[in-house]
Chains A and B, each alone.
Chain A
Amino acid sequence: MTKFILRRLFFGLIVLFGVVLITFIISRVVPSDPAAKWVGPRASQEQIALARIELGLDKPVYVQFWRYLTDLLHGNLGNSLRTRQPITSDLKSRLPATLELVVISSLAAVLIGIPLGVVSARNKGKLVDHFSRLFSVGVVSIPTFWIGLILQLIFFRELGILPIGGRLSIDTTLITNVPNITGFITFDSLITGNIPLFLEAVWHLILPGFTIAMYPIGLVARMTRSALLEILGEDYITAARSYGLKERIVVWSYALKNSVGPTSTVVALSIGYTLVNTFLVESIFAWPGIGNYIATAVTGNDYPAIMGVTIFSTIAYVVLNMIADIIVALDPRVRV
């Protein structure tokens, strides 16, 4: 088993290398003038010339790549054109906000999506199945940014009960001293005993959380349903039934354990989609996370930032998939 993990890690490193290579190609080789991209649209000729030397654009390609690689390994993603800060520190400060959304959507995917898929598979053909299938298909077809806007329209504009965005209202951030222990406002306010702050943070989480959770729920429900349908057709399920075991045990224990593999793969995939959906959701709800960061970077032509977020998100995604693969390999059938 350890051999497998090592092999998988090694493979992951190769993939990461490929990823770095591709990002290098995109940011240095593809554009007509990478230096101009690096310093932004308002740069003067001297600044561009300086950047050209700094980026080593006069040197051969492999030297450039080496510089790029070593920079990365030192955690140097460059500086954002907009904030003028190192991108790494920008990302660090924005990470908790995005993580809150990612955690919500993953929990929703597992706690709502999987049971939904199971119920759907068990009652195949009946009304429950049709409804949940329609729901799953509908939910992955809705444009995330659109549903966010609609929710704002309904709950903020018309009903006035939920805030339009932000993690906390502007008054609160001006008046209160927001604790910053982990960066998770919900968690921090809980452990410092500041209940009103906690409630307000939760209140602000509702709409963005709901919006971002929809796609993963639909995706996971669909996949769980089809995986389970296949499993329920296997002989050992009929055999288990023939021994008189309760249907509840047969489905939730016998059948479900066989679906751990495909389920973890699809949960990882849904987190991947969530990562990108945060770009859309955060910009709509003015949520100060990484998604918002890259969305503003795109409109502002902040190329270093765009690249920084790309690299960062991809590395996270690769690690996630590695974990999912290891979980799949826990299946006793897999020869490791």
Chain B
Amino acid sequence: MSEYLEINNLQIGFRTYEGDKQVLNIEHIAIDRGETYGLVGESGAGKTVLALTILNLLPPASALINNGEICFDGENLLAKSQKEMRESYRGKRISMIFQDPMSTLNPVFTVGQQVGRVIQYHRGLRGKELEKKSFETLEMVKLPDASSVLNKYPHELSGGQRQRVIIAIALSCGAEFLIADEPTRNLDVTIQAGVLKLIDELQRDLNISVLFIANNMGLVNVICKNIGILYRGKIIETGTSQQVIHNHFHPYTDALISAIPRDKSEKLKFASAIVRPEAVGGCPYYARCPQAMDVCAQKEPLLEKINNGHQAACFLPR
């Protein structure tokens, strides 16, 4: 299948009053049509920045797009103006759902008004037709009692309900690519499973592609075909979920996976604390890596092939 979304050499930074800081340095990400791709990284790794960059929603005053391209269906999104993004891509072809369902919904409008506004804008429906479509959209995300939800305000709904509403809004306009930025982060564990299942089903039913961003492996394991691990703005390992989870290569991936205790007999292993000073110009994981070598401090490792489709940015011998 042709590359649907491809990110190459993306370098993003931010202006702060302590100078410019680089936040993302992504060599390569490739997502196919109809695929769910999992992006895993800890807090501060740059996941949300990546999500916002795809839709060019970064704050213009402080964000610096230094380099790179984001090719969606053959076109470089970074080269497009805000107007083009708004008219051709946002909502229409690429949509996004955010982490905190409460803050993503406008508190002074009802659910129906918010869903309706987006549908009206994209599909030009009005009146009865608009109501019908809004209702159907909420049914699509399996919200029980959709008609009463339409009349409620966001603060009157539960976390899980809100997140479903947001998924509904995001997909209401026929988007073919969904960016899900940690959609289950602020939900209770039992609700998480429901939302996860919903996204998986929607992906199959609507035949869309999903970029699923998460901070723990357990979530991406089940529904993702390919996985990428993000550490400090850099992709350090990527491959099929089978490869990354069961045949992982990079020490950080190892730390991520072993941090989930599976068995009472296993000792609690955890990602090591900082054991040596940072290496400027070297591997970003150098300071915490239990297997660091001298070369790791001197050069920055690039993604190199381990297997078919499996790559890691590490100097360890394959």
Contacts and interface: CB of A to CB of B under 8 A. Distances in A.
A touches B (Cβ under 8 A): yes
Interface of A: 124-125, 234-236, 238-247, 249, 254, 257-258, 260, 331-333
A7 B89 CA distance: 50
B121 A236 contact: no
Contact of A243 (B107, B153, B173): B173
A259 to B, nearest CB: 10
Contacts of B86: 241, 244-247
B73 to A, nearest CB: 17
Contacts of A238: 52, 57, 98
Given A241-B86, A242-B96, A244-B87, 17 more contacts: A236-B104, A236-B106, A238-B52, A242-B57, A243-B118, A243-B170, A244-B86, A244-B92, A244-B121, A245-B121, A249-B117, A254-B109, A257-B109, A258-B107, A258-B108, A260-B108, A333-B108
**A-B CB proximity, top 8 nearest:** A244-B91, A244-B90, A235-B103, A243-B91, A242-B96, A239-B104, A236-B106, A332-B153
B53 to A, nearest CB: 12
A260 B107 CA distance: 13
B108 A234 contact: no
Interface of B: 52, 55, 57, 61, 86-87, 89-92, 95-96, 98, 100, 103-109, 117-118, 121-122, 153, 155, 166, 169-170, 173
A249 B117 CA distance: 10
A234 B55 CA distance: 17
A244 B170 contact: no
A244 B103 contact: no
A257 B107 CA distance: 10
A265 to B, nearest CB: 16
Given A235-B98, A333-B155, A242 B90 contact: yes
A332 B55 contact: no
A254 B106 contact: yes
B108 A331 contact: yes
A244 B173 contact: yes
Nearest to B93: A244
A257 B108 contact: yes
Chain B facing A: main interface SS: mixed
A235 B90 contact: no
A242 B107 contact: no
B99 to A, nearest CB: 8
Contacts of A258: 106-108
Contacts of A125: 61
Given A254-B106, A257-B109, A245 B117 contact: yes
A242 B55 contact: yes
Given A125-B61, A332-B155, A333-B155, A241 B104 contact: no
16 contacts: A236-B103, A236-B106, A236-B107, A238-B52, A239-B98, A240-B106, A241-B57, A241-B90, A242-B90, A243-B170, A244-B90, A244-B91, A244-B121, A245-B91, A254-B106, A331-B108
B106 A332 contact: no
A124 B62 CA distance: 13
Given A332-B107, A332-B108, A243 B169 contact: yes
Contacts of B89: 244
Contacts of A244: 86-87, 89-92, 118, 121-122, 173
Contacts of A333: 107-108, 153, 155
A257 B153 CA distance: 14
A242 B96 CA distance: 6
